[in-house]
Amino acid sequence: MGSNDHYVYAMQLVTSASFPMVLETVIKLKVLEAIAEAGSDAQLTAHEIVSRLLIPNKDAPDMVDRMLHAIVEGGVAYEKVHGILTFEYSTLDATRKEAFNNAMLNHTTIVMKEILECYNGFNNLESMVDVGGGLGITTNMIVTKHPNIKGINFDLPHVTRSAPFYPGYMAYFDSFGIKVNTILE
């Protein structure tokens, strides 16, 4: 098995956690029993399903309703359920912010290592901007391998403020265009 196969297998393990988590929640809440008890011809709304369950959360009908709408209409399910973008939510919860940014950094490190081994498109570049570059690992890896490139990492203010200082030709800008931290020359 090559390293690429190992990577694909690892990503399958990570993402495969979503389905069992959803299934476990559905089983614990007895959603399937509620639908079955209504009979095969019943077409329950989200509110009717939730009213048959013993869920104390008064927001549950709306949450289920919004999740079902997200599935039917498309769009960002997280925003429809919570009324706020996942990136904005991170500003309200420091633990979540740190976990999310580190998860991105570790995932991207694995992917970028593979890309930089086989991609030649950076060879003749003088500068680059990574929009939504998180903690800056992608820019750092590119400018480390190609020191001729001036790299700019661009992200939301609460992300760029937490970004580490990397040696090399690299700067951070936030989404207001403010230079946060730089040794770019």
Ligand X SMILES: C[S@@+](CC[C@H](N)C(=O)[O-])C[C@H]1O[C@@H](n2cnc3c(N)ncnc32)[C@H](O)[C@@H]1O
Q: Could you list the residues that contact ligand X (CB under 6 A)? A: 87, 104-105, 108, 132-134, 137-138, 154-156, 159, 175
The nearest distance, CB 108 to ligand X, in angstroms, is: 3
Helix spans in 17-92 (H)? 18-29, 31-37, 46-51, 60-73, 77-82, 86-89
CB of 107 to ligand X, least distance (A): 7
Toward ligand X, which CB reaches closer, 66 or 101?
A: 101
Question: Toward ligand X, which CB reaches closer, 3 or 175?
Answer: 175
Type of residue numbered 126 = E
* Closest CB 83 distance from ligand X, rounded Å: 17
d(CA 68, CA 63): 9
